[in-house]
Amino acid sequence: GLIYFTGRLRMLEKRQEQIRELSSKHQQLKEELEEAKSRLSLPPAKWTGEFEVDQDLDRGSQEFLEALLRTTEDLQDCVILCKSRVMMETCFDTAAQDEQQGVGEEAARTRKVV
């Protein structure tokens, strides 16, 4: 009896710790997604509620932990895709600016030579 109770208590404490850690990561990812959406000029409401865990689940249950894990993984995938898109657009914008600047400098040198 006592050994079972102690083992169950440890399992519940471990689950609570996992939920706390995942909830913190989930919140951080949501903030990163908001920043990425802003940089991509996406509507603030895009994906709102898509990465939320069912509120009807008991916050201490194994089902909640599993749902939080799946949702956090999906959110992380979305954040990675958005950040990649930000990097791609930033690199493209920088390359385009460098190219325009290079053309402008070339034109200025040509005018000076003539």
pLDDT tens track for 42-83: 998 998 889 999 999 999 999 999 999 999 999 999 999 999
Instruction: Decide: 74 and 51 in contact? Cβ < 8 Å.
Output: yes
The pTM assigned to this predicted structure is 0.75
Model confidence at 37: pLDDT above 60:
yes
Mean of per-residue pLDDT scores for the chain:
85
Instruction: Decide: 32 and 79 in contact? Cβ < 8 Å.
Output: yes
DSSP conformational letter for 60: T
At CB < 8 A and 24+ separation, what contacts does 80-84 make? Answer: 82/33, 82/36, 82/37, 82/40, 83/32, 83/36
> What's the pLDDT score for residue 106?
52
What are the extents of the domains in the chain? 2-113
Cβ contacts of residue 58 below 8 Å, gap of 6+? 64
Model confidence at 18: pLDDT above 60:
yes
